[in-house]
Amino acid sequence: MVPFQSFDMTPHPPQLAAEYIDLTALWERAHAHLRPLREHLPVAGLQSGITVLARLRLERAGWLEEPAEILYVPDANRFLLALSELRRLAGASAEAAIAAVDARLWFAQPTFLNLEPTTRCNYKCWYCIGRHMVQADIRVEDFIRVLDHFPALKTLALVGEGEPLMHKGFFEMAALAKERGIRVMIISNGSTLSESNVRKLCENEIAYIGISIDSADPATFAASRIDGKLEQVWRGIERLRRYRDANGYRYPKIGLKGTLFRHTRNQLPEIIAAAKAHGVEIFEGFQPLNPMRSYTRIYPAEHLAELAHVDEVAARIEQDATAQTELVRVADFCADEGIELDKNGRPNRLRPNCDEQWIYALLTGDITPCCQVKTPISPRWNLFQYDLDQILADPEYENLRFNLWNGLFPRYCEGCWKTRVSVADPGPVCR
């Protein structure tokens, strides 16, 4: 129980020298490992402390429904609640003592895993970080360990920085997932849709295949995809759609995604129309060039000027929303199929935040916060070695999720669209 008290805020600004409740003891008892990062990307409005959210339980009223704004004062290492905030939330119950605090507000019941099957690819797109990573495939025996360690898994996206159909064990892994009732989704460059692969995709009931297409013009497509042949991609999509429909298969559904640049920013309606004509059914999402710091380091010097136009391209994608309705939205497809894919999660009302409701793992089995973080963070976050529940309960992992949910981003998140308020949300595009 924490009684009301006045907390000495000096030498902080006079406007903060008001009545506060010191929640530090309750906070330490509930989750001493949860702390705002000392080193994080700049946050507007922070002066004497960092505001985070937590739920409160009152002795006579139980848990309050709306989370409270808690002020963390780094210099004093204290968690404080303004009496005015308590009165706003609790009303007539505000005189009751606070009995407990809970800051675990992020989503922590994932059923969706994005696992990188390979970093190898037959394309050499200039903006792809995968071409700068170790070229390797996940081992099938390690893949089985992942399934064993994630018993709640319902949907598996075999997606990474390579072409999944180049993995010789891809269909073996797909079959192993199918045996456990796990839905499989993939993203492909569309160049490997041979008759054999098309047949196996249908037989293994791959739920969804997203095809990456950056332009409907063959020459422009080849410029970003480095000699990729657009006509080969169109033929592959047609082959898949024709075989699927002729043989009575329901899956895979065929989606469209891609990356636009300043010189192609107006081409989205044309790309959508061409894709639909060749058999694509679902619109997944388009994005501008990735401005995240971990990506920009690999861009060729002659393309760096493109980064100045990221906001412009994102705005144009948003303007072309009408054209996107020509295809089924990927969010609607997922809802209809019971696929729990959400890259946005719950807002925290304080600032832009990150609450991805899925798990991303590199082909090494290492879990990272999202598909744009390519460097392992902790050896304890490895799905080859540990059950997912162990990883989710790891104090370091929980503290990262606490900070991301509160919009306090580590330095390696610099450039991510979730930290850039002016950039339109590009949707669930990962690659």
Tell me if 426 is assigned to some domain. Answer: no
Q: Which of 72, 102, 132 is the last residue of a domain?
A: 102
Average pLDDT of the residues in 366-386: 95
Read off the pLDDT of residues 397-429 as tens digits, 9 standing for 90 and up.
Answer: 999 999 999 999 999 898 888 886 533 333 433
Average pLDDT of the residues in 205-210: 98
State whether 178 and 308 are in the same domain.
Answer: yes
State whether 73 and 145 are in the same domain.
Answer: no
State whether 152 and 269 are in the same domain.
Answer: yes
Question: What pLDDT shows up at residue 329?
Answer: 95
What is the SS3 string spanning the chain? CECCECCCCCCCCHHHCCCEEECHHHHHHHHCCCCCCCCCCCCCCCCCCEEEEEEEEECCCEECCCCEEEEEECCCCEEEEEHHHHHHHHHHHHHCCEEEEECCCCCCCCCEEEECCECCCCCCCCCCHHHHCCCCECCHHHHHHHHHHCCCCCEEEECCCCCHHHCCCHHHHHHHHHHCCCEEEEEECCCCCCHHHHHHHHHCCCCEEEEECCCCCHHHHHHHCCCCCHHHHHHHHHHHHHHHHHCCCCCCEEEEEEECCHHHCCCHHHHHHHHHHCCCCEEEEEECCCCCHHHHCCCCHHHHHHHHHHHHHHHHHHHCHHHHCCCEEHHHHHHHHCCCCCCCCCCCCCCCCCCCCCEEECCCCEEECCCCCCCCCCCCCECCCCCHHHHHCCHHHHHHHHHHHCCCCCHHHCCCHHHCCCCCCCCCCCC
State whether 78 and 160 are in the same domain.
Answer: no
State whether 179 and 313 are in the same domain.
Answer: yes
Tell me if 384 is assigned to some domain. Answer: no
State whether 77 and 138 are in the same domain.
Answer: no
Read off the pLDDT of residues 284-321 as tens digits, 9 standing for 90 and up.
Answer: 999 999 999 889 999 999 999 999 999 999 999 999 99
State whether 181 and 321 are in the same domain.
Answer: yes
Read off the pLDDT of residues 162-196 as tens digits, 9 standing for 90 and up.
Answer: 999 999 999 999 999 999 999 999 999 999 999 99
Q: Which of 67, 102, 137 is the last residue of a domain?
A: 102
State whether 117 and 256 are in the same domain.
Answer: yes
Provide the domain limits for residue 217. Answer: 112-346+413-419
How would residue 42 be classed by pLDDT, with cut points 50, 70 and 90?
confident
Average pLDDT of the residues in 335-361: 88
How would residue 200 be classed by pLDDT, with cut points 50, 70 and 90?
very high
Tell me if 1 is assigned to some domain. Answer: no
Does residue 5 have a pLDDT over 80? no
Question: What pLDDT shows up at residue 424?
Answer: 37
Does residue 276 have a pLDDT over 50? yes
State whether 214 and 304 are in the same domain.
Answer: yes
% pLDDT > 90, the chain: 80
Question: What pLDDT shows up at residue 420?
Answer: 67
Q: Which of 51, 84, 102 is the last residue of a domain?
A: 102
Tell me if 7 is assigned to some domain. Answer: no
Task: Provide the domain count of the chain.
Answer: 2
CATH number of the CATH domain containing 325: 3.20.20.70
State whether 210 and 322 are in the same domain.
Answer: yes
